[in-house]
Amino acid sequence: MRQIVNTKSGGYEVLELQEKADLVPKAGELVIDVKASGLNFADILARKGQYPDAPPKPCVVGYEVSGTVSSVGDELDGQAAGRG
């Protein structure tokens, strides 16, 4: 899986495209096969180090995504898989 990682606070140069292993959902989680994502104002502030609720770096940016549920973890209804 490819992801854009915010490596530290700064300009656009701190964003890196990285390859990671595919995710496996834990209990109560699901995995989305992302078809589209967006960067909002909070993402930009987080990159700059100006968003107080941002996750610690390095972190994956893009709080908004759209796609299809590809797998679900325990405690979730299996009927969610395949839904967009």
What is the rounded (10 degree) CA torsion for 67, 71, 76, 78? 100
Domain ranges within the chain, ordered by starting residue: 2-80
Find, among 75, 39, 74, the residue nearest to 60 by Cα. Answer: 39
Query: What order of strands is seen across the sheet that includes strand 15-19?
Result: 15-19, 2-6, 59-60
- Determine phi and psi for 18, rounding to 5 degrees: -130, 150
For the whole model, what pTM was predicted? 0.74
Report pLDDT digits (tens) over 22-55: 999 999 998 999 999 888 999 999 999 999 999 9
CATH code of the domain made up of 2-80: 3.90.180.10
Instruction: Give, as one character, the DSSP assignment of residue 2.
Output: E
